[in-house]
Amino acid sequence: MSEVATCPKCGSKSRIKEMEGEIVYQAVQDEEAFKKISQMKKALEKFKAKAEQLEKELEQLRST
């Protein structure tokens, strides 16, 4: 995951990278942020569904 910091020049949230000993700031665009949020939501839903499935399976094993 990218490291995020506030840009000292413009004050926007930016991804930071170190290149040749210098820190480079790249502003996070709204589209990028929404895309990442969407990806994270989808991943969270998959894990949530898997957790619910495992809970049901555990309950069945406990009841037998």
The domain locations on the chain are 3-63
Structure token pair of residue 12: 């926007």
Cα–Cα distance, 22 to 14 (Å, whole number): 15
Q: What is the mean pLDDT of residues 18-23?
A: 87
Interval 34-46: pLDDT, tens: 788 789 989 999 9
Cα–Cα distance, 62 to 54 (Å, whole number): 12
Question: Which amino acid, 30?
Answer: D
- For residue 1, the model assigns a pLDDT of 55
28 pLDDT higher than 90: no
- For the chain, the average pLDDT equals 86
